[in-house]
Structure 1
Amino acid sequence: MAALSRGSVKLQSNLPLSDPVIDPNYLADEADQRMAIQGVKYARQIFAHPEMQQWLIGEAAPGANITNDEDILDFARSTMIPNWHAASTCRMLPREKGGVVDSHLRVYGTKGLRVCDVSAIGRLPDMNLVGSVFAVAENGARIIREEYGDE
């Protein structure tokens, strides 16, 4: 849930119904790679416990013959799936540093468009995101009310 690898979402064209180009860039960061490798090794330690052995007939994936780190990493790369907590896709940073929104959650290069969810947060805590969603949404609502004078 707290991956360090960063992907990208880009426009394919200026047509509104065009699909975006999405590159999750899973396991690009070395720390994420080490975590994936260690995750497989740790699962193997758990299943090697005598109390677990009575319920097992063998290792289905990645397979007991996969033992070196590079092969384990290849397995992780080929089976990686999202955790459905995508965030930081519209980070609040200066535009020249790759940011998408400013400190008032306005999308650079647009008029009347803001991002008021966890897409704007650069680095998320390793936890359920609902609190972060509420915090950004409430802050966005406050910013909008202040800007339009509706307190």
Structure 2
Amino acid sequence: MPASTRLPDGALDTAADQGRLMLWSAVPEEQALINGTTLSGELRGEVGDSPLVGIYVHDRSGAKIAYYEHVDAQVTSKDVRLDGSQRLSVTVTVSSRVPEGVETMPPLLTGGGNFVPVGSIRSDIHVYARPAEESSAPRLMTPAPPTCRSSMTG
């Protein structure tokens, strides 16, 4: 690899630790090696006796307008099954706090209307919980996101 394209020492480790580098393989033997590692992207961890529920927001506006997006989430346990796993109810409320006069903001911030109308926000929201055999009481983990309310039970 030419020196000009060489990554700084530890760059891949840092990216993996931050959840920015993940791997998946369609080859079962390879995937078995990836499972359980930082690279797997598996939701891991506990807060007290409760596993984490991850709610991830991906900005699709092609701009920086998601700065004005606010996300609120509620996770509740609906029931405990015979195997000890739980049925959870997740409600995610997304609201826009885009200020008046957005039309005067720079296109770098608003996207200039390329992917969404100026002042609009478009996001994908993904909710993840650990496999049922590992779950106990729910605990919420959210990243810092027009009004939309969505509920999911499962």
TM tier, smaller: under 0.3
User: Structure 2-normalised TM-score?
Assistant: 0.24
Greater percentage in helix: 1
Greater percentage in strand: 2
Structure ranking higher on relative contact order (CA contacts 8 Å, 6+ apart): 2
Larger Rg: 1
